[in-house]
Amino acid sequence: MPSFLEISSDKLNRIIGTPNAPVIVDVRTAEDFAADPRLVPASVRRSHTNVDAWSREVAGPAIIVCQRGQKLSHGVAAYLRHAGTEAEVLEGGFEAWLRAGGQVVPEGKMPARDPHGRTVWVTRARPKIDRIACPWLIRRFVDPNAVFLFVPASEVPAVADRFGATPFDIEDVFWSHRGERCTFDVMIEEFNLISEPLLHLATIIRGADTARPDLAPEAAGLLAASLGLSRMFTDDLQQLDAGLTLYDAFYRWCRDATDETHNWPNPKRAQ
């Protein structure tokens, strides 16, 4: 049982991917991280050696992860609490997370980060489905602080080059469609985010994004909502913010509510 200053792997796993998930900070030593350079989804790397310098930058609540959930994570969590930030420790640390079967994102697949520690991505303006779904996946499971640039399609390669951004969902780049799979499918595979809810969501997205409503009954609804959002907003970032909520809802349905139906009014009363 975790102490009142700790959170179990099972509980953390339930809140990762949700809009109100805590900040997850990986403070493993350089040696431990080099031995297994993978991350709990949506976590950021920080060093315990200069926690006093960055502790006030963390907008909690925060979950601190070290190798075994001992001195490093408890010390950092205490520093954060001293700075006024609610902080807990992952019980048993990264090793316990692995034993519990938790997902891990390979650091080697992460794009380079900017001076503020953020990944920066660029794609075509006026997003519809994949170009909203992919930022949702990145923000919820890969890099919660990721920056997304929407530019004219012809300018994506040049912007990527000049601004150190990673292009996605355009032709002839790594993060794009592969055969019948959408960019969202590719990101799930490359970031090692294989789970039943995300795979279910990927099928719905693929059906909506590639004019294959036969792939999932929900695909037509996602397409309609996505096209509606594109008509509501002229600002791509405002549309992205609204789209994040849409995908939050679809993800929670895939994870928790696929067996639930709406049964009002009561059919028996209508007889």
* Neighbouring-strand partners of residue 38: 106
Q: What is the pLDDT of residues 7-23, one digit of tens each?
A: 999 999 999 999 999 99
Residue 57: band (very low, low, confident or very high) from pLDDT cuts 50, 70, 90: confident
Residue 208's nearest CA partner among 235, 228, 234, 188 is: 228
For residues 146 and 208, state if they share a domain: yes
Query: 231: how many CB neighbours lie within 10 A of its CB?
Result: 8
Residue 32: band (very low, low, confident or very high) from pLDDT cuts 50, 70, 90: very high
Please report whether residue 185 resides in a domain. Answer: yes
For residues 68 and 124, state if they share a domain: no
Q: Which long-range contacts (CB under 8 A, 24 or more apart) does 75-81 make?
A: 75/48, 75/51, 76/25, 76/27, 76/46, 76/48, 76/51, 77/5, 79/51, 79/52, 79/55, 80/51, 80/55
pLDDT of 158 strictly over 70: yes
What contacts 5, CB < 8 A, 6 or more positions away? Answer: 74, 77, 88, 89
pLDDT of 271 strictly over 60: no
For residues 209 and 118, state if they share a domain: yes
Q: How far apart are CA 48 and CA 118, in angstroms?
A: 19
For residues 242 and 179, state if they share a domain: yes
For residues 62 and 176, state if they share a domain: no
Could you tell me the CA-to-CA distances from 211 to 205, 207, 215, 224 in Å, in that order?
10, 6, 9, 12
Domain with residue 28: its CATH number is 3.40.250.10
Max CA separation in the chain (angstroms): 70
For residues 13 and 80, state if they share a domain: yes
Average pLDDT of span 28-42: 98
Of 106, 124, 147, which residue is a domain's last? Answer: 106
Of 61, 85, 106, which residue is a domain's last? Answer: 106
Q: Are 240 and 124 in contact (CB under 8 A)?
A: no
Of 82, 106, 130, which residue is a domain's last? Answer: 106
- The number of domains in the chain is 2
In one-letter notation, the amino acid at residue 43 is S
For residues 68 and 147, state if they share a domain: no
